Amino acid sequence: MKTAYSATAFVLGESINALGVVKALGRQGVPTYLIQSLPDPVSGASRFATAFQAPDPIEQTEAYLQYLESLQDGLGTPGVLLPTTDVTVMVISQHRERLARRFKFVIPPHEVIQKVTSKEGFYELALQYQLPVPRTFAAESVEDVQRVIDQLEFPCAIKPYYSHVWRSPEFRRRFGRIQIVKVDTPEALLNAYRQFAVYDSRMVIQEFIQGDDDCEYSLHTYTSRDGQTMINFLAHKIRLDPIHHGSAAFIETAHDGEIFRMGNAFLRHLGYRGMSSFQFKWDPVREKYFAIELNPRFSLWNYLEPSCGVNYPFINYLDSLGEPFDIPPDYPDGVKWFSIERDLSAFLAYRREGSLTFWQWIRSYRGPKVCAEFSWDDPAPFFQFLRKMSKRAWNALIKRFRKLFR
């Protein structure tokens, strides 16, 4: 028999990030509100949460805060805030004293969030701790880029100063789901900067770490509110979408003592609290790991962890309320997570470049696995996903026909 929980969980965000958190809480009997600022019928269809459409937390911050407060005021017990996006973490942190009057939450200190949510800030922290990290330069103008060109080795990478800028609907409609762009020449760097600066002129130019897509790893760690407990979970990225410069499409569980040591030591150095998603990449030339970024929130593939017995959202919920939680047993290696949408897109791109055949792709699904969009006990999000994909395919077909008959 499940325990009846009175505190409502407020899951902040949308897409499969939020859907994974909602499922993990709902299966434990936690009453859950899903607070979306962008319409997302897929995560909003879950039977494990009641979905609400909130104002934009960046453009309408005060209205967003008032919306959260109005929802909480209709409840008796203080709710628990669980952010799944950089923007919602930043808003909670900036207004933590105000929100703490009505809500419970465990997040890192404000100065840590300010640093790790910016690429330059994370680089500075990594240098202070002597953590291996790609050499990084900040730029806010074409002139800044021109000043550092002579100090760069090509190829190099260009990234947004704040990741959420390149995740905006406007940016993605033009450039897709990119997180990093590799450039081979100074001219290509300047052209890329000029294109992206329309959305935000603040960017970082970074040393490019060698290695294929499967050299990337993601370490999730929950650090308890008292700092005494750290619970780790590592995933090895196999395929990315977009390929070579995107986020996870297909991953599998793994263990690596060096990554655990590096990640945990850095988090302790920061006085970190709450959920973290720490990205590493193995450089096969220099034979060492480099820290790439640290996200203070639940990540894209968080649905994998509860499926392996490590229920981070529920642990975070209990810890926020000051309730004890059980330390989960160690998880198995080789359990796979995939997103149908992302991995199909990735497969088609890898096949076009000749690095993955159809049968290699099919064989990679052997063994235990979980799907981001589908679960037997919560099928509605999957049907909404199919509806979305059908609409997208139909629109693409119409667009192609229009081109043919022009």
The residue ranges of the chain whose pLDDT is under 50 are: 1
At residue 2, the pLDDT reads 61
Closest by CA position to 44, among listed 13, 86, 81 = 13
Residue 351 CA to chain centroid, in angstroms?
26
What does the DSSP 8-state code read for residue 164? Answer: G
Helix (H, G, I), strand (E, B), or coil: what is residue 161? coil
Instruction: Report the pLDDT value the prediction gives residue 1, as an integer from 0 to 100.
Output: 47
Domains and CATH numbers, the chain: 9-105 (3.40.50.720), 135-207 (3.30.1490.20), 213-371 (3.30.470.20)
Task: Give the pLDDT of residue 169.
Answer: 82
Return the pLDDT at 336.
98
Residues forming beta bridges with residue 290, ordered by sequence position: 281
Residue whose C-alpha is closest to residue 235's, from 178, 301, 284: 301
The secondary structure of 15-69 as a DSSP string is HHHHHHHHHHHHTTT--EEEEESS--HHHHT-TTSEEEE---TTTTHHHHHHHHH
Q: State how far the alpha carbon of 234 is from the alpha carbons of 125, 129, 140, 181, 263, in Å.
A: 22, 22, 35, 25, 11
CA distance 400 to 121: 45
What is the DSSP secondary structure assignment for residue 322, as one 8-state letter? T
Inter-axis angle of helices 15-26 and 312-320, to 10 degrees? 70
The whole-angstrom distance between residue 35's C-alpha and the CA centroid of its chain comes to 17
Structure confidence by residue, pLDDT tens digits, 317-348 = 999 999 999 999 999 999 999 999 999 999 99
- Whole-model pTM: value is 0.92
